[in-house]
Structure formats: C-alpha cells, structure tokens
A = this chain, B = another copy of it.
Amino acid sequence: VHHSLLRERSQADFDPYELKLFIFDSEDMLKAKESADKAIEIHDVFRTPSEWHSWDREEKVRDAMRKIYHFHKKQKDIGFQGLTYKRMMVACEESMGQVPVDLHYYMFVTCIKYLASDEQKALWLSDAKKLKMHGCYAQTEMGHGSNIAGLETTATFDRSTDEFVIHTPSLSAYKFWPGELGKFATHAIVFAKLIIDGTDHGVQSFLVEIRDKRNHCLLPGVIAGDIGPKYGFNMKDNGYMALNHVRIPRTQMLSRYSEVSEEGVFTKKGNLKILYTAMQTIRILIVRMAFKNLSKGLTIAIRYGIVRTQFKDKAGSDEERAIIDYQTHQFKLIPILSQCYAFLFVYQKVSKDFSDLKKRIKAGDLTGINDLHTISSGMKAFYTWMTLEGLETCRQSCGGAGYSMFSGLPGLVQDYAAQVTYEGDNTVMAQQGARFLVKSLGKMMKGETLTGWVSYLNKVYEVTEYKCKAEKPEDFDSLETLEEMLVVKTCFMVGDTCMKMMQGDEPMQTKWNEMYQQELVEMSKAHTMLVTFQIFRDGIKSSWLQESTKKHLCNLCKVFAAHQIYLDSAPLFECGYFSGGHQKMLLEYMKMQFKLIRPVMLPLIESFGHNDNILNSCIGNSYGDILENQLESAVNSDLNRKDMFPDFEKYMKPFYNAKI
C-alpha cells in the first residue's frame, strides 16, 4: 500500500468505521453489504475484470445476462450465506453499473405492484419476481418523451372479442428507449391512449407479451430491436418497438386506478394520489444513485490526488507536491465531497419519510402525501446535474489518467449522464419544482401560513430587510448565518419571480415558456439547495454519531452552503443583503474550511466502502499502486493482443518503400 494512503488513513481523528456503520445504517446491513460485494468479487463469473472496459457492446450485453443467470443459479444452488436476493442484486449492479434486469425489477415489477388490480397481481407478480416473465417499461415514443399526454400509441377496445387492439399508428408513435426491450424482454408494459367507441380516455397502461418464450422470437405483429450504441449504458439493450394491431385480453389493462368493463364502460377508481407514491420509489433511487456515483468518482479522484505528485516547490527539493495539495484541486474536489454527503443525508431522510408515508397510507391516512413529491422533482433535476458535473470534475482532476477507460472515470460519467434525461428531463423537472413554489407563494399572499419545506417563504417580506453582519471570514462560520444567506437568497428569487408571473396580461403559458422560464428554473434550484442544506444539517444533528465525526460532517455542510452562495451570490447583492467584501470573505472562509477537511478527505470518502472490484479503476484502488496498474492494464489491453500485419503490408509498408 502506498505510504501516502497509509499516512492519510492513519491520521483520521475520528472513527471511520463508525461513519461507515452510519452510512450503511447498522452493523448487520454493513456486514451484509460487504459479504455481498465479496461474493461478487471472489467468483470468476461475477467479477468484472479490468478488460471489461474494452469489451464491445455484444460482449457486455451477453456477459451481463450470463451473470444474471449464474447469479440466480448460485443463489438457488448454494445460496450466498443467507444474503437476500435484493442485497445480491444491488451488489451485482454496483460492480457492473447496470444489470440487464434492473428495469425489470425497478419499473416493470413496480408497475405491477402499484398499477395492477389485486387479481392481476395474484396472476402476475410472482412470475415477474421469478423472471418467468422479463418485462420492460415502454412509455417513451419517438415523438414524445417529456410530454406523456402526447403519446400516440392506441389501445382500442374491441367489444366483440373483449380485447384491446394495441397499435402504433405512425412513425412518431414507435416506442423508443425502453431498457431491456431491445433483446431481452418477453413482456412490456405499454403506455397507450385508451379508445372506446371513438372516445379517448387518456393514457393507460397495458401488459403486452412481445416475445415467444419458447424461442425468443418476436410475436406476430411486434416489430422490435435494439437502438444501437449509446454514450453509456452499453450493456443495456434499450429498444424500439412498433405494434401492428396486437390483440390482448381486456384483463391486461392494468386496472388498479381505472377499469374497462365487458360492456366497454370506463371507470376510474381508487385514489390517484397513491399512485404518486409509486413514482417516489424511483425518485428516492435517484438520490441514492447520486451519492453512490459521486462517492465512487471521489474515491478514485481523492486517492489519485493523494498519491500523484507533480512539480517541486523549489528546484532541488526532494519531493514533488501531491496534486491534492494545490488549492485549486481542493476547490475542485471538496465541494463535491460536501454534495456527496448532502445527498446521503437527504436519501436517509426521504427514505424514512417514504416508509412512514407508506405505513400511514396503509392505515388510510393520506396526510403529507404531496410533500415528498413536490420536493423530489427539484432534487431529481439539480442533484443529477450536480452529480454529472462532479463526476466530470473528478475525471478531469486526474489529468491524462482520467481519460483512460481503465481509470473507471469515463465510464462513470457516461453511464451517469443518462440520469439528467431519463425519469423526467431535468429542465422539465426543475419547472415542476418551480410550479409548486409559485403556488405556495400565491397561497401565502392570500393569507395562508405555509408549512413544510416552503415554510421559510412566510418570511418573504421580512427578509428583504436583513443585512449580512459578517465582517471577517470567520463570521460565516455558523450554520445559522449560512442558513440565513440561503433563505434570503431563495426568498428574494422566489418573491421576485412570482411577482413577475402575477403581473402583465400575457397568457400564463407565454409568461412561463417565453418570459420568465429562466428565473423559474433558477429559483427552483435555490429552493432545492436550501432544503438540501436544512436536511443535511438536521440529519447530522439528530444522528447518533460521535462529536468527533459530526464535526467533520458539519464542516462539509458549511462548505455545501458557502459554495452554493459563492457560485451565485448576485441575488444577495441585488437584495442588499451582501455588500462589498462579502464575496471575498466567503472565499476566505471556504479556504479555512478546506484546511480542516483536507486531512480527513481520505477516511471521509473511504467510509462509503467501495471495494476495488466495484471501482474497477487502475488509478483509484485501495493500494495506490497507480503506475504499476496503469501499465498492466495497458499492456494487457485489446490491441496489443493482435498484430497488424495484414494492414501493415497493405497500408503502411507502401509508404516506407515509397511505393505510393
């Protein structure tokens, strides 16, 4: 192990193991996670070798399915020392990026759970869970992604046969993008407009069998295939599909919330709000993926930053400076580290809220059902943007090494990049967040007292009088002051934007889309960052961690807030809260914080517990043998296994011989 890593590990003035326990919730959970990761690492068939980075799509897709098979087989034959199925799936996924059944479990099975009636569940759920049917989630069409109401696929009720006829009427109605549709899925949940006797009842969902389970051929009327190579997700078979008057029994419309009777009568039933909770599962997963991915990127970048040296401070001196000890390098990585922990605390909070909510719903109590939904669209947008940017910064901070696939960093960037688009394009999601703020402020102005995440808006007038009292950098070193800054900034942005939205006679859509959309998105971000800070701060306070650990997390929480302000402090100047000198003091304050955090960056990031197999990085493993590893991966890489002689004689030698 590299001496610098050893030194930095040993210099932790807190208990990294305690922090690790906290991150994984309990000793049992941590142990289970570690044994699952280990199980993936020790079995040849599950381990992802360094060469994986150079496999083409076919190899990756096939390897992934093979792994899933062996995984189930081993699980059944010998079990993994009592590890749960879900636990093992997650470990599998962490080591490969994606598995070819995650859409199946996360979307298809979830849809059956939440959208199917009890009878349907009884019929389908067990088969789905056992992969006796492999399903995909077929919503997006070539013509419509964000605007789901615009979907064109039709499901026309045929009373005479008691069937729906599912049909793709145009090129723009082709399903496009669904994961696992391209090569694997036997079934699809197809979103289509329900038509009964010429009346459009809006988009509903239908279970459609698309491949013959005996030979995996597409069923009659189904045209489908893989959509080709992508930026990332290349072991995933995202697909396209057209359906030519494919008939399914009436009972295959998912009918927890709406139903069509034999007579063709359409009825809605149940509380649609509960349906929202289904979407929350995915949103929470997205928060989880944010800190999971950021922590992977940071583990690589921080270790590399500690081991890699470049430039001597003085000619003649013996050692070069570790690149992490350049101030700019800390400016790159420490704010990202703070975001990584912020997302962790938000994840803990929203998962807890969500499981509480589910309990309440079971007991028939629907209070608070909207809360999570309203805050989570902003989180979706801004967390995924921040994470993608953070990963790219990690990549760049490793210089040339970060450009090699073997570093693991390009793969993280490429795979993660999908998240700013899917599950709701970020610019669209950010506006959903804004919509709620506009509504809330409207209520407040009508005299209502706001509660929940937006309660700070009750002070929207009051805060305009606030002035920042900081006179030196140290004055920023208070969670109250930092919160005040975020509150003042957000109040000012929300207040100002909402005023504009209320003035003028232009149609609401014009104001929204053409006049103030930029401000709406910006205020949505400010709000999300404020709430994130609050959850982060409260999470630390109420945790069972020792003071010695809390201290560091608290420093990160402060950096999170200060950095958000530093990036965009104009609103604070605009509203008169900041005055000359404050921005520079804030910068100096961040530098003070960086000094405190720098010595514990390694243990802080290693507490996320990514093992070497998961990272699959020649520059970020736990040993720090960056040169040996880079060279080894290079020497063993693909093109070195093949000589180029046919090409040489034909295409290169003629030049040397002047035969061309």
A interface residues (Cβ-Cβ under 8 A, vs B)? 53-54, 56-58, 61-62, 65-66, 68-69, 72-73, 76, 130-134, 140, 142-147, 150, 171-172, 174, 176-177, 182-184, 186, 213-216, 225-233, 237, 240, 310-314, 320-321, 325-329, 331, 392, 395-396, 399-400, 402-406, 410, 413-414, 417-418, 420-422, 425-427, 496, 507, 509-510, 513-519, 521, 569-571, 573-576, 578, 580-584, 587, 591, 627-628, 630-631, 633-635, 637-640, 642-645, 647-648, 650-658, 660
The reply to whether A327 and B132 contact each other, CB–CB distance below 8 Å, is: no
Residue numbers in B under 8 Å from A54 (CB-CB): 57, 228-229
Find out whether the CB atom of A57 lies under 8 angstroms from the CB atom of B639: yes
Contacting pair A656 B186 (CB below 8 A): yes
Instruction: Please judge, given known A-B contacts A76-B660, A573-B580, A660-B76, whether A53 and B216 are in contact too, CB under 8 Å.
Output: no
Question: Which residues from chain B contact A57 at a C-beta distance below 8 Å?
Answer: 54, 638-639
Q: Which residues on B sit within 8 Å (CB–CB) of A142? A: 627, 630-631
Query: Which residues of chain B are within 8 angstroms of A581 by Cβ–Cβ distance?
Result: 574
| A226 B640 Cβ-Cβ under 8 A | yes
Report if A327-B146 is in contact (Cβ < 8 Å); known contacts: A640-B226, A660-B76.
no
Complex CA–CA separation, A628 to B146 (angstroms): 20
Q: Are B519 and A587 in contact (CB under 8 A)?
A: yes
Is A660 a contact of B73 with CB atoms below 8 Å? Answer: yes
Q: How far is the CB of A2 from chain B (nearest CB, A)?
A: 13
- Tell me the bound Cα distance from A578 to B406 in angstroms: 48
Least distance between A61 CB and chain B CB atoms (Å): 7
The 10 closest A-B pairs by CB, nearest first: A228-B637, A231-B410, A573-B573, A69-B651, A327-B517, A226-B639, A131-B655, A227-B634, A229-B405, A213-B656
Inter-chain pairs besides A182-B639, A226-B637, A229-B406, 6 sampled, C-beta below 8 Å: A132-B658, A237-B639, A327-B518, A403-B417, A518-B587, A570-B583
Q: Which residues of B contact A144 (CB under 8 A)?
A: 310
Chain B CB within 10 Å, residue with most, of A56, A61, A518: A518
Is the CB–CB distance between B639 and A132 below 8 Å?
no
Q: Report the Cα distance A410→B417, complex, angstroms.
A: 10
CB distance from A431 to the nearest CB of B (A): 8
* Closest B residue to A68 using CB positions: B651
5 contacts between A and B (CB under 8 A): A130-B655, A229-B404, A231-B413, A331-B518, A573-B573
Tell me whether A573 and B584 are in contact (CB under 8 A): no
Say whether A514 contacts B325, CB under 8 Å. yes
Which B residues are in CB contact (< 8 Å) with A226?
A: 634, 637-640
Take A310-B147, A631-B171, A647-B65 as given contacts and tell me if A574 and B570 are in contact as well, using a CB distance cutoff of 8 Å: no
Neighbour of A328 across the interface among B237, B496, B518, CB < 8 A: B518
Across the interface, A655 reaches (CB within 8 A) one of B72, B230, B582, namely B72
Q: Which residues of B contact A311 (CB under 8 A)?
A: 146-147, 150
A249 to chain B, nearest CB (A): 20
CA distance A463 to B490 in the complex (A): 32
Closest to A402 in B: B421
Given A174-B631, A639-B58, residue A145 in contact with residue B237 (CB < 8 A)? no
Residue numbers in B under 8 Å from A73 (CB-CB): 654, 660
CB closest chain-B residue, reference A630: B142
CB <8 Å contact, B171 and A627? yes
Q: How far is the CA of A635 from the CA of B627 in the complex (A)?
A: 43
A140 → chain B closest CB, angstroms: 7
Cα distance A319–B187 when bound, in Å? 33
Task: State whether B513 touches A325 (Cβ < 8 A).
Answer: yes
Q: Collect the chain B residues with CB atoms within 8 Å of residue A634's CB.
A: 176, 225-228, 240
A647/B62 in contact, CB under 8 A: yes
In whole angstroms, how far apart are the Cα atoms of A273 and B410 in the complex? 38
For A650, the closest partner residue in chain B by CB is B69
Separation in Å of the A86 CB from the closest CB of chain B? Answer: 17
> A76-B660, A513-B327, A628-B171 known; A635 and B225 CB under 8 Å?
yes
Question: Is the Cβ of B404 less than 8 Å from the Cβ of A228?
Answer: yes
**Across the interface, do A56 and B53 meet the contact criterion of CB distance under 8 Å?**
no
Q: Please determine whether A578 and B587 come into contact, CB atoms closer than 8 angstroms.
A: no
Residue in A150, A229, A645 with the greatest tally of chain B CB atoms within 10 Å: A229
Q: How far is the CB of A637 from chain B (nearest CB, A)?
A: 3
Tell me the bound Cα distance from A399 to B514 in angstroms: 20
Tell me whether A637 and B227 are in contact (CB under 8 A). yes
Give every chain B residue within 8 A of A509 (Cβ-Cβ).
313-314
Q: Verify B61–A639 contact, CB threshold 8 A.
A: yes
From A430, which residue of chain B is reached at the shortest CB distance?
B328
* A640/B225 in contact, CB under 8 A: yes
Determine if B132 and A172 form an interchain contact, defined as CB atoms under 8 angstroms apart: no
> Once bound together, how far apart are the Cα atoms of A242 and B132, in whole Å?
54
C-alpha spacing A182/B516, complex, angstroms:
53
Chain B hits for A216, CB < 8 A: 643-645, 648, 652-653
Interface pair A130/B658, CB less than 8 Å apart = yes
Complex alpha-carbon distance, A133 and B653, angstroms: 10
